[in-house]
A and B are shown apart, each in its own frame.
Chain A
Amino acid sequence: EIVLTQSPGTLSLSPGERATLSCRASRSVSSNYLTWYQQKPGQAPRLLIYGASSRATGIPDRFSGSGSGTDFTLTISRLEPEDFAVYYCQQYGSSPRTFGQGTKVEIK
């Protein structure tokens, strides 16, 4: 099983600042089959990034994904008020499909 470790656990930032979220895999993620999801309280997750770096339909370009192998990053270039949420990475290259434990981006 691939274990995904996200860091930091919580990121305290102000609107307008840059957010950098990390997702590290216990072994290489096949073909960079990695997604990022955003979840707000009481809501379902929403797909942001697939294939490590491709933005999903309708996702603003302030969201970008990068990385390969075992190290992946989600960057939010300038935080908007609606971006404060929990973010999860997930790998879909091997079974079982696994999620990271999440990074909470909170308002400082």
Chain B
Amino acid sequence: EVQLLESGGDLVQPGGSLRLSCAASGFTFSNYAMIWVRQAPGKGLEWVSAITGSGSSTYYIDSVKGRFTISRDNSKNTLYLQMNSLRAEDTAVYYCAKGSENSFPYYIDYWGQGTLVTVSS
């Protein structure tokens, strides 16, 4: 059974940093792309960042480029999202998600339960 367990969400001040983690199990982690998707309170879904199975290729939406860094440790079956220079508009539940394959085109086939990031003074 695929399981994705996020952690690291917290209340942080504007300009602050946070690192999210996602522990994966139930599949061969290194064989699949992984994704972070966020959902602002009461809003829709936004695909934030993605990384291939080896970690060699990454993708970011424009609004987080230069501030967020996605990475993975395949030896620990763990996905990360380092978030710097946080803004109020980054406030959201952040979901860790598994890609259906390692390379394009892949869709999200499993989701974690999410971790809440609140950016506020």
Contact = CB atoms under 8 A, between A and B. Distances in A.
Contact of B107 (A50, A98, A102): A50
Residue of B95, B105, B106, B107 most packed against chain A (CB within 10 A): B107
B47 A98 contact: yes
B105 A99 contact: no
A35 B44 contact: no
B1 to A, nearest CB: 11
Interface residues of A, number: 24
A90 B45 contact: yes
B3 to A, nearest CB: 12
Interface residues on B, range: 20 to 34
A20 to B, nearest CB: 20
Nearest to A6: B44
Interface string B34-47: 00000000001111
A70 interface: no
B44 A88 contact: yes
Given A44-B95, A44-B114, A96 B61 contact: yes
Contact of A88 (B45, B59, B62): B45
Contacts of A33: 105, 107
Contacts of A45: 45, 95, 108, 111
Contacts of A44: 95, 111-114
B45 A50 contact: no
Interface of B: 44-47, 50, 59, 61-62, 95, 100, 105-114
6 contacts: A33-B105, A33-B107, A47-B110, A50-B109, A92-B107, A97-B50
